[in-house]
Amino acid sequence: MIHIKYYISKNRDFNEIQVANKKENAFKIIYQIINQKIIEKHPLSLEQLIIFCSFKTIKKIRNKTNYQEIQKYSIKQFLKNKSNLSNLKNIKEMTIEIMIDNFPKNVIKFSI
């Protein structure tokens, strides 16, 4: 089970994305579609950017990469692709929590 919870500091409301183990292939397909949108320079929603950045982070968590490296990589991915985000003006700080199977929860906080 993949569980991604994210919130923006302004409103503290959070959104969640859950993917069951049997549906991880669908998650990969969604990632590939978003990746194609990035290549074609189409604008993304915040949810699409979260999924895109979380996909590779999930692989790093499963490979037992240390927390600092995961956080550094996630921030780099988000900042690299934020230009494709259609509404970034209201986002100043963001927190993403990623929980996978039996691995400890990873909390990634960053400012934009």
Q: Report the distance separating Cα 109 and Cα 74, nearest Å.
A: 10
Strand order in the sheet with 106-111: 14-19, 2-8, 93-100, 106-111
Look at the chain and report how many structural domains it folds into: 1
pLDDT along the chain (112 residues), means of 10: 74 75 85 91 85 85 85 82 66 76 72 56
**What range defines the domain where residue 47 resides?**
2-111
pTM, 2 dp: 0.77
